[in-house]
Amino acid sequence: MHSLDLLVYGKLRSLRLPVKPWLYIVKGWRIMRNFADWRRRRRGAEAVLAKSPWIGFISKTTGYGLLNADTIPGTAEVVALCQKVVEDKGGLQSQQLAKKPFFSNILTVKDLGRYPQLLDFALSRPIIEATTDYLGMVPQFRAIGLYISHVNDSTQSSQLFHFDGDDLKQVKCFINVLDVEEGAGPLTILPADKSRELTKRLGWRWGDGRIADGDVFKYFSENDLIRFTGPAGAGGMVDTVNCLHYGSRARTGSRLVLMFQYTTFPNIKMDKGKFYKKGMPLLDFPVERFKDDPLKAAVL
């Protein structure tokens, strides 16, 4: 957020006042300042979705859609490429993780240039159509990363149940690059409708921070959780703003996932790249190649 937006946000939080109405004001103000682009994206959604088989793939009730290796054409190739990227860097176990020792991106902007298939996949029609339908507009591609979670015994930060705060809704796509079993710390979500019910019951409000497992299990059980386990190529598309989630409780095996993220435009966090640190997802992309493709150029 910009400094004034953040200042007010921080003040409201310190006074324990609700922050969500302020986020709606920030969002409304940004839409007004970018009105032509916002309207073009809203109207553009209709053309993108004409006859699309991806309408409803991400459920507007539960906030997610699951993928297997055959769901999106090109998944097997992109998985094999991600495996090669890691091998070329010396293998999974040799990677020293920056930022979070249990969940870090190892992909660089150079890699995106060297392996254009990665962005081609993340910007492929099925992904853009499913995301456009869920977000209700031609979305903005915000981030991509190839994430390693080494075996660990911590339960902190994004290993605890939380909601993301990038926007009022967003889509993150997780693709397992190696088989992910329960012990490899799969992304684990509580569907959006159940998450909403939980926050009501707990009296949790936006900005209140992470939620303890014990609080979740007061009202829901393990059976209510969806885990992105499965063979290489499996995964899902999920609204991590509205689905409570955690990941990387990798107790018995490492995890490797390709993750990329779409938001609406304009989103609430607009300072792209300003706070970039090694290990975070990439926020800037080689866009030159897409300048003659109006849809992809708009998304980027």
Ligand X SMILES: O=C(O)CCC(=O)C(=O)O
- Residues in touch with ligand X (CB under 6 A): 103, 149, 158, 164, 172, 187, 240, 245, 247-248
Residue closer to ligand X, measured from CB, 56 or 231? 231
Minimum CB separation from ligand X for residue 196, in Å?
18
One-letter amino acid of 272: K
3-state secondary structure of 140: strand
One-letter amino acid of 270: M
Residue closer to ligand X, measured from CB, 95 or 158? 158
Minimum CB separation from ligand X for residue 174, in Å?
7
36 φ, ψ (degrees, to nearest 5): -60, -45
Residue closer to ligand X, measured from CB, 153 or 288? 153
Residue closer to ligand X, measured from CB, 41 or 169? 169
Q: Which two tokens stand for residue 219?
A: 């009202």
One-letter amino acid of 12: L
Contact 130, 54 (CB under 8 A): yes
Residue closer to ligand X, measured from CB, 41 or 245? 245
Residue closer to ligand X, measured from CB, 132 or 149? 149
Minimum CB separation from ligand X for residue 284, in Å?
18
Q: Which residue is nearest to ligand X (CB)?
A: 247
Residue closer to ligand X, measured from CB, 103 or 220? 103
Segment 211-219 long-range contacts (CB within 8 Å, at least 24 positions apart): 211/160, 211/161, 211/162, 211/244, 212/160, 212/161, 213/160, 213/161, 216/161, 216/190, 216/244
For the beta carbon of residue 111, count every other beta carbon within 10 angstroms. Answer: 18
162 φ, ψ (degrees, to nearest 5): -155, 165
Minimum CB separation from ligand X for residue 150, in Å?
11
Minimum CB separation from ligand X for residue 7, in Å?
25
One-letter amino acid of 253: G
Rounded Cα–Cα distance for residues 266 and 5 (Å): 14
Rounded Cα–Cα distance for residues 26 and 34 (Å): 12
Q: Which of 190, 206, 207, 210 is nearest to 198 (CA)?
A: 190
Please list, residue by residue across 176-190, b when 16 or more beta carbons sit within 10 angstroms of its beta carbon and e when fewer do. Answer: bbbebeeebbbbbbb
3-state secondary structure of 240: coil
Minimum CB separation from ligand X for residue 262, in Å?
13
Residue closer to ligand X, measured from CB, 37 or 179? 179
Minimum CB separation from ligand X for residue 187, in Å?
4
DSSP state, 97? P
Minimum CB separation from ligand X for residue 59, in Å?
19
